[in-house]
Amino acid sequence: MKELSLHILDIVQNSITAKATFIQIIIEENEKENFINIKIIDNGIGMNKDLLEKVINPFVTTRKTRKVGLGISLFKAAAERCNGRFYIQSELGKGTEIFASFERDHIDRAPLGNMVDTIITIIMANEKIDYVYKHTFNECEFIFDTREIRKVLGGMPLNDVAVIDWMKNYIIDGIKELYKNKEIKNQPK
């Protein structure tokens, strides 16, 4: 995949399929330490030990519509190609955690990509799920939590057009604030 945000979108889709009601997306970028860490945690149905050992194989999938499942194996390969690490932990009935780290300035590391559209897309895919998107860049931090937004909305759905527009602008402003002292390609406009 050309952007890390597309890997995130794919993994979150797996979480949605696994009946998660709460999904966390945590991105840590550090220029000085030269890393990008991505962690996706869900409270879905989880995987048994047998499936967990097989899931990084591209020819293993739980889907009935096709016989391959490339998402996790491609994410793992992307991390390892950039001197990073990858792990996946899961427990039946408790959920799954996927972690990938990347050497930030590695020549083969894909750009982070458009996290604004990624977050908005997953909310629109299933607005009943709660999401936390936590993104740190060096010492700066941005947190977007749909549970807090729901409290303010008082029952109005997250996928209402006006709410989506507000959330999109809120995430754009939050990410811009993260990078305010750094000129970054693909920064939200």
Domains in the chain and their CATH numbers? Answer: 4-178 (3.30.565)
Confidence band for 125, pLDDT divided at 50, 70 and 90: confident
User: What is the C-alpha to C-alpha distance for residues 161 and 158, in angstroms, rounded to an integer?
Assistant: 8
Alpha carbon distances (Å) from 148 to 23, 78, 142, 153 = 14, 33, 14, 9
The phi and psi torsions of 152 (rounded to 5 degrees) equal: -70, -35
pLDDT-derived band at 64, boundaries 50, 70, 90: very low
User: E strands along the chain, which residues?
Assistant: 22-30, 35-42, 86-91, 95-103, 130-137, 140-145
Average pLDDT for the chain: 89
pLDDT of residue 25: 98
For residues 17-30, average pLDDT: 97
CB count within 10 Å of CB 14 equals 21
Report the pLDDT averaged over residues 32-49.
Answer: 96
Say what the pLDDT of residue 54 is. 77
Closest CA to 76 of 56, 50, 52, 96: 56
Q: Determine the length of the chain.
A: 189
Report the largest interatomic distance among the alpha carbons of the chain, rounded to a whole angstrom: 47
Q: Which amino acid is at 145?
A: D
Q: In this predicted model, what pLDDT tens digit does every residue of 144-162 receive, in sequence order?
A: 999 999 999 988 999 999 9
pLDDT band per the 50, 70, 90 thresholds, residue 49: confident
Residue 152 or residue 54, greater confidence: 152
The set of residues, in sequence order, having a beta carbon less than 8 Å from that of 112 and lying 6+ positions away, is 3, 4, 5, 27, 29, 36, 186
pLDDT at 187 (0 to 100)? 52
